[in-house]
Amino acid sequence: MKWEHKIGDTVSFTHETIMVYDEDGNRHAEHKPVNPPACGVIVGGCYRRTGKYKQGGSHSTLDGYDSWPAELHVTGTVPVYRVSKTFTGKPVDVLPEHIELMEAGHGRPTGEA
């Protein structure tokens, strides 16, 4: 994937992206609508992993104690931009298709005249 926007770009976005597990243990991206659309500044980008969760566990044996960690069997990735709504605010994940670049100093998306 080619990243279209750069760190420091002011953007408008209509959905936030959160990673969730369903009842079968599959991890996937869900989109939470933001109404009205929010604006913020891109502070980074990353790939979030999707896949199947395998629960860890432990048990006692005659030889001692045995344990194994929980793990995520990765089947894919989702590229997200990290967007901060305020100067000191915690960044949120936003998919590239939910972002629109804003004009500098005008506070409106570049697609509008």
Q: How high is the mean pLDDT of the chain?
A: 86
Residue 22 within any structural domain of the chain? yes
Residue 61 within any structural domain of the chain? no
Residue 38 within any structural domain of the chain? yes
How many structural domains is the chain composed of? 1
| Full residue range of the structural domain in which residue 28 is found | 10-47+78-101
| pTM to 2 decimal places | 0.76
- Collect contacts of 103-112 with beta carbons under 8 A, ≥24 apart: 104/10, 107/39, 109/12
Task: Dump pLDDT digits (tens) for 30-74.
Answer: 999 998 989 999 999 999 999 998 888 887 777 777 787 888 889
Residue 86 within any structural domain of the chain? yes
Q: Give the Cα separation of 81 and 6 in Å (integer).
A: 10
Residue 5 within any structural domain of the chain? no
